[in-house]
Amino acid sequence: METLVRVKVAELLKSKPGKEILVKGWVRTKRGNKNISFVALNDGSTINNIQVVFDMNLFSEDALKPVTTGACIAVKGELVESPGSAQAVEISAKELLLYGTADPETYPLQKKGHSMEFLREIGHLRPRTNTFGAVFRIRHAMAFAIHKYFNDKGFVYLHTPVITASDAEGAGAMFQVTTLDLNNLPRTEDNHIDYQEDFFGRAANLTVSGQLEGELGAMALGEIYTFGPTFRAENSNTPRHLAEFWMIEPEMAFYEIKENMDLAEDFVKYLVKYALDNCADDLKFLNDMFDKELIGRLESVINTEFIRLSYTDGVDILMKSGQKFEYPVSWGTDLQSEHERYLVEQHFKKPVILTDYPKDIKAFYMKQNEDGKTVRAMDVLFPKIGEIIGGSQREESLEKLQQRIEELGMESSGLWWYLDTRRFGSAPHSGFGLGFERLLLFVTGMSNIRDVIPFPRTPKNAEF
């Protein structure tokens, strides 16, 4: 059997009939009678299965008995034209090898139509379902497209650290990283924990954002991006928050907020178009099974110009809307997802880039406007999701930045290296962060962020 090279199902389904082939995969279904057995086989290379036909004159009933849903097999046979209308080709089996059985009494994925909640409980097996196969193939395609987009534009992929000693920006509560013995902590004379004894000789955390290090890169390489995992220990159990999520953070020297917005809009449109062009089968499946408006929504985003609006005008619209919100809104309050979605879904019916937020609800590094009240922030808001991107032009003046750090009562001594970018050869620059899983919620139409990452990390949940 092994003398033939294995061909993946995706390729077989596109091949012309009439050749000997070897295929390997997991059984999705088996049906048939005494004379003939039909096995739908999937190997993860496509949402589609290949039909393997067993002539029961060639195979014993005993040989086919363990070929049940979930079992893993290899089949040698001939690729032939299929008489059925559901597929162009099928495999007429000649030899069967059973790699691994899946006891029908205990294999949890017997039938279709399990709830997403149930599938989360068997997160180790859910990649074998059609839905998660589609989602993870799309996730891969989007990751690839992100690198392609920036590479084609001459951006440098900069690896920023996962472990940091700085609280990047107060973006969220942090996970501490330590090798100290928690049952026997070393103490200083005034009874504080003695971090000099810790691995790094100081307290350290998992990063909440690669931006500050990204800025160091941009001020040398011009245009960079980071794409890595970020960690936030917020106890927010929502369908849009993870404790470990992936973020794409471009940072560009010489970009002001207008160019920053142009890049963000062009970037997400490119990614959505890439998915439509390259993930058609998977998107069609998700569209048919979960969300009949999915493909229409994706197409509408690439064909529309995003609305650009100031926070002040946005709040005005919300206050005049007559809408009852769970959280009241007025100038100065942070917008909740219900407000963002009202603007996008009800009012404008298209994506919105909201700019110039009050400085008190945004991070210290954002460029201050002349009005003394607002900063050059930009959040991109999407239908069904709310905020998908957060970014800004950065404050390039050392003096203003130091003043803001002081106003906020932040510890500036730990930021000396960051402030050096403003001390030496400072320049206007901008950047943003795209939440990878938020993008995937939009592209796949899934409604819970736990279902677009293979192994979700949320409060009280890190089993697999």
Q: Which stretch binds ligand 4AD (CB under 6 A): 67-75, 101-109, 415-423, 428-436?
A: 428-436
Laid out side by side, the sheet with 163-164 consists of 163-164, 204-206, 176-177
Choose which of 30, 339, 367, 438 interacts with ligand 4AD (CB under 6 A). Answer: 438
**Binding-residue total with ligand 4AD (CB under 6 A):** 21
Interface residues toward Mg ion, by CB under 5 A: 390
Q: Which stretch binds ligand 4AD (CB under 6 A): 38-46, 111-119, 271-279, 429-437?
A: 429-437
Q: How far is the CB of 381 from Mg ion (least distance, A)?
A: 11
450 binds ligand 4AD (CB under 6 A): no
Say if residues 366 and 379 touch (Cβ distance below 8 Å): no
Find the largest Cα–Cα distance for the chain: 86
Binding to ligand 4AD by CB under 6 A, coded x per residue (else -) over 225-254, reads -------x--------xx--x-x-x-----
Q: Which stretch binds ligand 4AD (CB under 6 A): 284-292, 304-312, 346-354, 425-433?
A: 425-433
Interacting positions 108-147 with ligand 4AD (CB under 6 A): none
Q: Is 111 exposed, middle or buried (0-12, 13-18, 19+ CB in 10 A)?
A: exposed
Task: Return the number of the residue (93 or 388) whose C-beta is nearest ligand 4AD.
Answer: 388
Residue 27's binding partner among ligand 4AD, Mg ion, none (Cβ under 5 to 8 angstroms by kind) is: none
Task: Return the number of the residue (241 or 350) whose C-beta is nearest Mg ion.
Answer: 241
- φ, ψ of residue 432 in degrees (nearest 5): -155, 170
171 binds ligand 4AD (CB under 6 A): yes
340 binds ligand 4AD (CB under 6 A): no
Choose which of 217, 391, 445, 456 interacts with ligand 4AD (CB under 6 A). Answer: 391
Lookup: tokens for 62: 């005993």
Give me the amino acid identity at 279.
Answer: C
7 binds ligand 4AD (CB under 6 A): no
Q: How far is the CB of 459 from ligand 4AD (least distance, A)?
A: 11
Choose which of 432, 441, 446, 451 interacts with ligand 4AD (CB under 6 A). Answer: 432
Task: Return the number of the residue (251 or 282) whose C-beta is nearest ligand 4AD.
Answer: 251
Interacting positions 200-229 with ligand 4AD (CB under 6 A): 209, 211
Q: How far is the CB of 210 from ligand 4AD (least distance, A)?
A: 7
394 binds ligand 4AD (CB under 6 A): no
Task: Return the number of the residue (67 or 335) whose C-beta is nearest Mg ion.
Answer: 335
Q: How far is the CB of 116 from ligand 4AD (least distance, A)?
A: 18
Interacting positions 261-300 with ligand 4AD (CB under 6 A): none
Residue 382's binding partner among Mg ion, ligand 4AD, none (Cβ under 5 to 8 angstroms by kind) is: none
Residue 241's binding partner among ligand 4AD, Mg ion, none (Cβ under 5 to 8 angstroms by kind) is: ligand 4AD
Choose which of 435, 440, 442, 458 interacts with ligand 4AD (CB under 6 A). Answer: 435
Q: Which stretch binds ligand 4AD (CB under 6 A): 18-26, 301-309, 315-323, 387-395?
A: 387-395
Closest residue by beta carbon to Mg ion: 390
Lookup: tokens for 445: 């139409």
Q: Write out the residues near ligand 4AD by the rule CB under 6 A.
A: 169, 171, 209, 211, 232, 241-242, 245, 247, 249, 387-391, 431-433, 435, 437-438
